[in-house]
Amino acid sequence: MESHRVVGDLRTAGAPRRLVDLLNSIDTGVLNLRHCRLDDPLAGDASAEPLEAVQIARDSVLFVMPRGDSGRGDPFEVVRKKPVPATIVVPGYAISGNVFLLPDADPPTFPLIGNHHFFPLTEVTIVGTGADTAIRREPLVVVNMTRAVAYGPKA
């Protein structure tokens, strides 16, 4: 979200799934998290407010940084893809890392912006472009492409 950061557990019934698949399958438009902490990213942990549960509008999420076990998925459903270094911009942040596209995809023309899915990036650097100027490095970030305003593959 643009104004707050939420840390919590996203749990669902059924077989374990990758976080990106879980986020893309939510059809209610609301993420339900448990055992949460709601804080202002500019104020740090000093502003953290513990809450038992939080409901978040799915489309308000900018990106997700998984912690702990984020699911592994079914190896029989794996589709071969190639890593493409790229930057995705969401309000207040530039997120750079590897997006994974089908081997025959042309990165500059691949229709990533405007699709209504969450999209994973690996080996990520997040740079704040607004009031939050922190630089974060993460192994995996899942970006809400509904909120993306720019996508650029690197040459």
Whether residue 131 sits in one domain with residue 82: yes
Flag whether 38 is in a domain: yes
Q: Which residue has the tokens 């998984």?
A: 66
Q: Same domain, yes or no, for 53 and 85?
A: no
Residue 2's pLDDT band, with cuts at 50, 70 and 90, is low
Which amino acid does the sequence have at 57?
A
Task: Answer yes or no: do 102 and 139 share one domain.
Answer: yes
What's the pLDDT score for residue 98? Answer: 96
* Tally of structural domains, the chain: 2
Residue listed under structure tokens 């890392």: 97
The rounded distance, in Å, linking the Cα atoms of 11 and 31 is 10
For residue 118, being part of any structural domain is answered with yes
Domain that includes residue 23, residue range = 5-62
- Strand residue runs (E) in 11-128: 30-39, 49-57, 63-64, 82-90, 93-101, 118-128
Together in a domain, 91 and 115: yes
The first and second tokens of residue 103, run together, are: 């081997």
At 43 the pLDDT is 65
Q: pLDDT, tens digit, for every residue of 63-94?
A: 998 876 655 555 555 678 899 999 999 999 99
Q: For 6-30, what is each residue's pLDDT tens digit?
A: 888 887 776 667 888 888 888 788 8
* CA distance to 60, 74, 153, per residue, from 109 (Å): 26, 29, 9
SS3 106: coil
Give start and end residues of each alpha helix (H) in the chain. 19-25
Q: Is residue 70 part of a domain?
A: no
pLDDT at position 132 over 80: no
86-98 tens-digit pLDDT: 999 999 999 999 9
Could you give the C-alpha distances from 87 to 3, 12, 110, in angstroms and in order? Answer: 22, 30, 13
Does the pLDDT of residue 44 top 70, yes or no?
Answer: no
Asked which of 39, 62, 85 is the last residue of a domain, the reply is 62
Q: Do residue 41 and residue 94 come from a single domain?
A: no
Residue 105 lies in a domain: yes
Confidence bin at 150 (pLDDT 50/70/90): very high
- Domain-embedded: residue 101: yes
Q: Is the pLDDT of residue 124 over 90?
A: yes
Say if 22 falls within a structural domain: yes
Asked whether residue 67 is assigned to any structural domain, the reply reads no
CATH code of the domain in which 111 resides:
2.30.30.100
Pull the structure tokens for residue 74: 């079914």
pLDDT given for residue 123 in this prediction:
96
136, pLDDT greater than 80: yes
| Residue 19, C-beta contacts closer than 8 angstroms, at least 6 positions apart | 10, 64, 66, 70, 71, 120, 142
Q: Answer yes or no: do 90 and 145 share one domain.
A: yes
Query: Which class for 142: exposed (0-12), middle (13-18), buried (19 or more C-beta within 10 A)?
Result: buried
Give residue 127's pLDDT band: very low, low, confident or very high (50, 70, 90): very high
In a domain, 138, yes or no: yes
Same domain, residue pair 86 and 147: yes
